[in-house]
Structure 1
Amino acid sequence: MKFINKFILLFSFDHDEKVEVETKTVQLFSNVLNFFLFVIVFIEGIISLLEENLFFAGPLLFFSILFAFNYLYTGRRSNSTYYKEILFSFIIITFSFFVIFGGPTNINIIWLGIFPFVAINLFGRHQGAMYSLYMFLFVIIDFVLLSKIVPQATQYTLNMEILFSIYFIFSFIIAYTLKFIFAEVMLTKERAMINSQNSKNSKEEQISDLSRQIRTPLSNITGILDILGKTNLTDDQRDYINTIHASANNLVNVVTNMVSSSKSGLTPATEEEISFNLYSTLNNTIRLFSENNTKQKFSLSFSADIPSTMLGNAIKTKQIFLNILNSIAKYNVAEQKLINIEVSRINNMPGIIELNFKIISIGNIPFPKEYKSEDSLYSDDILRLNTSKHIQYLDLGLTQKLIEQDGHILHIQPNIEETTFEFGITFKENTQSISLQKLNDKITNSESFYKPSVDIKNANILLVEDNFSNQQIIILYIKNEVNKIEVAYNGKEALDKFGKAKYDLILMDVQMPIMDGFKATQKIREIEKSTNTHTPIIAVTANAFPEDKERCMASGMDDYISKPFQPEDLIGKIKHHLS
């Protein structure tokens, strides 16, 4: 058995880029099948040639050349889109020849028994079953008509025709059953993996929320203690404050260790980028819900400018769709469910593929009254608040977190007849050309925006923070260094102020109502593109996971400081970016 395993693995060619597991499996099966068919047909051709039977020798040797070329040229290319389709067309031609003429041994029609296995394993149960049906109809036509009118066609007796028909039907049933069992096993394993991932992400989310809730008041406490420590105090008072400060710092260390240890125990969805076919990934995800549910129908449409393969996280993409489709299946009470999935490209930036996904669930999802909007003319801010309620009701909090990891937002728009889920995901082009990041680095190095240094005393700073106590603490930190500080209570208000005044620096909270700090930063950077300006933005947040800083920087922020922090650290960062 080990020898057979090693022999089969010889057909799994190594490529420069990583490909999806499912694609590798189909490619390996195609390579093995292609090789063995070449060997069999070539031997048949040689036997016919030795017997001087040129009628069979010529076609069979020609077919073997087709299989050899397909195996040696197309099969070794990881980006060959139509490899299995080309292989399958050669198989149909070869098997049709055997059906009509029988081959040099007159028993080649027996090879028809492997046709259902080939079709179903290459194209899946439904498409493979359709191709098998077409082949079966061709066999019947040959028995009834072609064998009577085509010269040199093999003549089959009635008993042989019945036997071959039963043989083909049983082969199809066995192939379909085995594929069904395999699909059910894989579906069970995949659902278990997704549930396990959701459970781990839920624990991570709880720990992150707890850490943030503890760090924010701790930051206020340590900040007030720092300010008190600079006032005139008696020795006893200073000793008391130092004791409180030490205890607060110990609590900060406890929270930090808790986050670190919990983080090491969790395994978030891998961010490894692989080359994969998005249409195949989504189509396979849809099949998990449609194959055993006749009351749930799907339609999937792609815009023409989306490439067939791209680089990205296929597991996370599938997890997002599984969670949303699971939620629709759970909460959509319509007897007949129709789900339309539309995928479009929303930018043409080199190296980046930013896609917009719209999932439209036809049928009523009965949201509770408190989750419904009576006024369809609500502002975007109110609709965003309502979306948060819808996400909570549909148990899509983890899905929202996955979508937000690269700066996108999940929108849910329900009405009486349908509910629309809309979100974006960013991928990379599957190319070896220069990356967008390198291009941006060159632009950044060549353009310094000609921004002059600003003295901190004369700087105009915008503080974006929704919590009043936190506002006061930060103002107390920097008021002796900065003369002009303006406050915005959320990202939307910050955008309004940014459009009306010039700021030298922005201190940006991350989690805020109406519009969070990530989205506000992205909007600001979009505005600055047209003016060729750049305003430093420092994230001031209680989010302390290592990836929180990466997410802040990815959204366009220039720096990051987590609570609790020393006032001198914040002032130092402000001076650095102003200079």
Structure 2
Amino acid sequence: VIGMTQLLACTDLTIDQKEYVETIRESTNNLMAIVNDILDLTKIVAGKITLLQNDYVFNDIIYTCIKMNQYRADEKGILLSCNIDKNIQPVLSGDPYRLNQVLTNLISNAIKFTHDGQVNVNINLIKENEKSVTLEFIVADTGIGIAEDKVDSVFERFIQVSGDNTRKYGGTGLGLTITKHLIQLHGGSIDVKSKQHQGSVFTFYLNILKAKQQLPATSKDENMGQNKLQNSLNGIHILLVEDNIVNQKVASKLLTNQGAVVKVANHGKEALELLKKNKTDIILMDIQMPEMDGYEATQIIRHEMMAEFNNIPIIALTASALIADQNKCLVAGMNDFIAKPYLASELYKKILLQLDPSCH
């Protein structure tokens, strides 16, 4: 539904039709948010969430999170700023995906309930030893705030501090519950200070391990706005490996609309044959398929085909948002992954970043 709506929005529509399409788009995004929240909470309650222990460039994770939320702030005319303590060691070790999720939840929440003013993110080094750092994360906004008698209930599941807010802003009341659980899973804690009509300040603390090997930290664009990607795939040859006909139509149209040349394979075996016969710059690989799945096809491309095919970038198309499944894609030899349903702009950026790593 999301994919077809994106395609429909790119056609010639009347003013009324554009309004209807925008309503569908907002509704599908709200439904996706609800589904994701419920899935996350279910996994937390069942104890099925495990944290990764990967080395990562700390600033990259933070700036990526800011970029993801920047357009929402721009739409509302809100200043979104970020300040990171320069004494924090560049490369840390832990679960960058869950850290991103926690920060995204807090920042998007702050933007959601702020109509004028700003949202500020500050990260401070509190303590450091040979093995780890203790960091303080502060997300402050100038939004509608929370009544003092309601502050203690903001982290309770399915609870929103006001029925009026539920009707006006939507949501499930699960975002902060999930955020608190993820922080506690890291061994950290979170607190909120707020007054109605005077904004809110969410503060949490995490103890994060240092990476054993400090790699040269080449941080992504810290100015957040320079070197923007051009959403043009003109002349790029893409092999789309996907067994679902509807998904084929959506992805093919999104790609050809940007000038890409697309060949479609219905499963892994067919992809291997098409790869031998056609020029291919990049492969979009579904995971679950008949005949041969995406993992097996990727392994063959990486290890059994001629050298000219070994290094073709492969982006996994996965219906799973589980970090463990996404990590499995990388271990299998894929370069990146994108979870369905995906935004057209997100897909374009993933492709362009693989073909030109200098694009940040």
By relative contact order (CA 8 Å, sep 6+), the higher-ranking structure is: 2
Question: Which structure dedicates a bigger proportion of its chain to helix?
Answer: 1
TM-score by length of 2: 0.46
TM-score with structure 1 length normalisation?
A: 0.29
More strand by share: 2
